Structure 1
Amino acid sequence: MRVLGIETSCDETGVAIYDGEKGLLGHQVHTQVAVHAEFGGVVPELASRDHVRKTLPLVEGVLRDSGLRKQDIDAVAYTCGPGLVGALLVGSAIGRSLAWAWGVPALGVHHMEGHLLAPMLEAEGPDFPFVALLVSGGHTQLVEVKGVGRYRMLGESLDDAAGEAFDKTAKLLGLPYPGGPELARLAEQGDPTRYRFPRPMTDRPGLDFSFSGLKTFALNTLHEAQHAAGEGGEASEQSKADIARAFEDAVVETLAIKCRRAVRESGAKTLVLAGGVSANQRLRARIQEIMEKEGGRAYYPRPEFCTDNGAMIAYAGWQRFSAGQHEPLLFGARPRWPMEELPAV
């Protein structure tokens, strides 16, 4: 079965084709960084309009790159939620329309399930069961995974997700959009001993997260550095780098502490790390270290599949189509969609 996957949940347009026997046949991603950079963040209306312009050309491009025709597609999967409602409706409408025109089934896919399953696109992916840490711009979640659709939420962010905290702190430091990767690059120049930020909610039981306080702590630390520079002074570039390093260390260590707690409580020997923040090299190294000490193993997708992409949607769709799942012609978008509501495969 060949599945065309369409991802339009936020500010990347992704299209891919997954073959159940041959694997990923092709994928393309268009990023909207240039569209939103001057505003310092995603503008939903502009995101939706850009998806309208880019989705069909990407579909044509992936078919061409894969050496396929529309008649070779057996099913269409599209991101139905969660995400920006306007952006989701673009992908849903296009995906459902293509499926109707081609006479094939269609299915709305959960965006975070796509991220969760993305490591399985690799040649050596994880086996069920496992614990997954999903860290993206809008979500930070620890999930116990026993199979496709068999999910139990262990913990999640009560306010800002880790990716949001990265982006907002980067903006405080005057870094360009998108801020998360820029902050990580700046942190490479920072002194890890100058500042120490708190590790929120690690001194109490449970697996929930809270990162909004770290953003405030970073702001106060920046103000102290500016005050030390004198009247009307600006914090030095080194001070900003030191703040970035302290912030990144705090987020990474907080995530690591909760992951270690989750694998110990669940008894899992496999941890999956996925989502945009999972590309952070310091986080990967720390998780790898923890799982080695726990006698287990960590899995994560290659960097191009950490951020939003059509390949993960095509693969998640293939899993569900293979189990006989499909949906009626009526479609919609679910900007808020608990993953635990998904049916098991």
Structure 2
Amino acid sequence: MQQMGIAITGSGSAVPVTFLDNQGLSELVETSDEWITTRTGIRQRRLANAADSLAELAAIASHQAIAMAGITPQEIDLILLATSTPDDLFGSACQIQAKLGATRAVAFDLTAACSGFVFGLVTAAQFIRTGVYHNVLLVGADILSRWVDWQDRRTCVLFGDAAGAVVLQANKSDRLLGFELKSDGTQNNCLNLAYNANSTELTPGVCVGQGGFLPITMNGKEVYRFAVQKVPEVIDKALFRANLCVEQVDWLLLHQANQRILDAVAQRLNIPEDKVISNLAYYGNTSAASIPLALDEAVRQGKIKSNDIIAASGFGAGLTWGAAIFQWGR
């Protein structure tokens, strides 16, 4: 079987209407606009309300990506949803399939937290390269506001809600030039959205654990140290696999976690500031949505053009991290 290449041919994004700026947050917890901005670069974040659904946000972003790619939902073979916050614990990808009317597509969720979009990109590419599928919709979406402790100023200042999507298509030339994925479960306790079980006795001697999820907890210093060390390394390895040097990169597209992390990674790689894509000031950390959201904005603003080489990297809970080097367009 002749191996196919892949091209990323469309992008889309969606965010909730409601936003909460730093001034509003300062009325909830002891903080200030200056404190948040200087430490994170975040000025506001979009928040889903109780009536909003992840599947609906994802469907809006998906429609945009499919339209840009110039195909119809019925031509989609596979829908991959990268999320940690599905509407349904059994998965939300099938709900997106139904909302799109993508009747031919198989759909499933993939969870790798803030690395989810990069892990999903590499996963989608394998289905295309082996000739199994030709048109894949990859969605990164999270509604982390559902799981934030709004009295914990270490975490509540960081997170926002969004969805981003891309269409990957079979292509004669392969535009995914190189990648590297990593995991380290020994550091799992640095960033958690943990299940909390209460013991329930069904019959004498037979107990089960039932409960819900606790709010997000994070060791910010450790996550910062991990990201600043590991992300430049994984990008270097992906560039090596792509047979490229850092000077050939047109855009550095990192998971939008913290502006200080973006700046530190760019400095370590010697990538100039004007090549770093950043929109976290307006959206905060949107987990698996952050890379496709920033990508879509940059494409629609005319920053990212056809054939531009993008070094993308996601990093977060797991701990997981990875990088993908790709060219935009066909």
Higher helix share: 1
Higher strand share: 2
Normalising by the smaller structure, the TM-score range is 0.3 to 0.5
